[in-house]
Structure 1
Amino acid sequence: MTDQKSANPAPLGLSGFALTTLVLSCYNAGLITQGVSVVLGLAAFYGGLAQLVAGILEWKSGNTFGYTAFFTYGAFWEWYFLTAGGFIGGVTLQGIGLVLIAFGIFTLVMWFGTFKSNLGLFTTFLLLWITFFLLGLGAMMNNSGLTHAGGYVGILTAIAAWYTGLSTVVAESLGKSPPLGKPIMK
């Protein structure tokens, strides 16, 4: 019996996260004002299901950080799908704001876990916790300025996540190391 190489699940999880975040962030930033329901399918399947699968594969490979991050953010997108899709009733802006701030706190703690990782992952988590806090405060205070700011930072977050995930795919296909920058701490 030979050992078969397993694929790295991180590019899938990061790409599902990035694409879904980019589309929703364009709405949050106010760049697009109609058809936000297009995000629901992405939230359920690419942002949600693909990240859940990536999380399970990270668990199987023994990567606690990757498992915790992908599974949590996959669950976030499933929550978004159920909430924004109207499957859960009685949701208020303050409640949504509280959930977003709670995810911001989770992301801030996870960001500390990236200090010995590469610069791409460090930047993605830095921008993401800022995004969550801005969106959470925007929802709680019903402040469109904060929501728009969160949308713009969310666009930057998506770009950082996509770069981090896809640089691994491209580098692997070329037989090189991904250009992700040195760790912040040794």
Structure 2
Amino acid sequence: MDYPANTPQTRSFPLRRRGSVLEWSEGLSKRNITHDMSGHGLVTNIPHEVSIIRGDPGILGLAGFALITFCFSVFNVAFPKESPNILLPAAILFGGILQIICGLLNFGIPGGTFTATVLSSFGAFWAGQGLLMIPSLSTVTGLYSVEMLGKANGVYNLAWSLTAYWFMFICLRLQKGTWVLVSALFFVGTTLLLLCIASFSGVVGCQRAAGVTGLIAAVLAWWKATADLLIEEGEVIPTGRWDTTLEKKSPLDTAI
């Protein structure tokens, strides 16, 4: 059936779902601007038409991670000997529970397994940090010596440092990713490693250095979240995206 030149076609078109927020895919914005698009949604095969059917939970998770990391890092830099217990609500709610919810929502999105794993893991980390600040737990921790608590905290931070570096390695192997995210995971791992050293040695300088690297990680997480928010409005800010999908095609695919 022929349609007039200015009459929109009413037949249905096949849809495809975009990948994870921590990844990216190529497409068009709602402003009909060609760019590399990040986030979720269903995209028709009609040129210059994008239909976003749901929000992107990963962006909110990144924002929660960035905020609580920034707050704790400021304490490590400026007040290394002061207790950060005032941050308990933010650690449990915005940094912990919110990240876990956002991560679990990503498990229901095709291609969102990596995002879901990262956000849920660090959400559990910050929720645990917040629980340790609850005053009623001081009676439990009071049963152990300061030296023993330092060693336990050092092992804990070392394990999470290795986890962050593990996520960074996986991110480097993604077919579609960004250098901003890789850098953020690197600085997160470095922050936790420095906190591990500070726990074992008691050197305040290591704790202050961890605060500096933590601030860098928070800024990078905010940058990635900002890029993913603006992309739906057709605004693109650099995040160092790459796409190796074409390089990994089999010879049979190339022949076809």
TM-score when scaled to structure 2? 0.66
Instruction: Say whether 1:166 aligns with 2:226.
Output: yes
User: As a proportion of its length, which structure holds more strand?
Assistant: 2
Question: Does structure 1 conserve the Cα–Cα contact (< 8 Å) formed by 2:98 and 2:123?
Answer: yes
Q: Which has the higher contact order (CA 8 A, sep 6+)?
A: 1
Pick closer, same or farther for the CA change 1:99–1:87 going to 2, 3 Å.
Answer: farther
Which whole-Å CA distance do the structure 1 matches of 2:243 and 2:89 have between them? 36
1:13-56 Cα deviation digits (max 9, x unpaired):
11000000000000111257656222111101110011001111
Identical aligned pairs, as a percentage? 24
Residues 1:97 and 2:97 aligned together: no
Partner of residue 22 from structure 1, selected from 55, 58, 70: 70
Q: Which runs of 5+ in 1 are unaligned?
A: none
Match runs of 1:43-122 below 5 Å: 43-62=91-110, 63-88=112-137, 89-90=140-141, 92-115=149-172, 116=174, 117-122=177-182
Aligned residues: 183
Q: How does 1:171-186 map to 2 (within 5 A)?
A: 171-172=231-232, 174-183=233-242
2:80–2:207 Cα contact (<8 Å) kept: no
CA contact (8 A) 2:230 2:236 kept: no
Unpaired segments of 5 or more residues in structure 2? 1-41, 43-51, 248-256
Q: Aligned-pair distance for 1:144?
A: 1.0
The CA RMSD over aligned residues, in Å, is: 2.1
Which residue of structure 1 aligns with residue 56 of structure 2?
8
Secondary structure of the corresponding residue to residue 80 of structure 1: helix
Note the C-alpha offset of 1:84.
2.5
Conservation of the 8 A alpha-carbon contact between 2:180 and 2:239: yes
- Measured in 2, the distance between the counterparts of 1:98 and 1:51 equals 24
Partners in 2 of 1:184 and 1:137 — Cα distance? 37
**Counterpart amino acid of residue 103 in structure 1:** W
1:168–1:178 CA contact under 8 A, matched in 2: no
Q: Whose Rg is larger?
A: 2
TM-score relative to the length of structure 1: 0.89
Q: Which moved more, 1:28-37 or 1:127-136?
A: 28-37
SS in 1 for 2:241: coil
Q: 1:33 to 1:167 in 2, by over 3 A?
A: farther
Deviation at 1:85, TM superposition (A): 2.5
Inter-partner Cα distance in structure 2 for 1:98 and 1:155 = 22
Rounded to whole Å, the distance in 1 between the matches of 2:136 and 2:168 is 31
**Greater percentage in helix:** 1
- After superposition, what is the alpha-carbon deviation per residue over 1:165-185, rounded to whole angstroms, capped at 9, x for unaligned? 12211232x224453112397
Aligned to 2:132, the other structure's residue is in SS state helix
Letter of the 1:97 counterpart: G
User: Contact 2:58/2:102 (CA < 8 Å) preserved in 1?
Assistant: yes
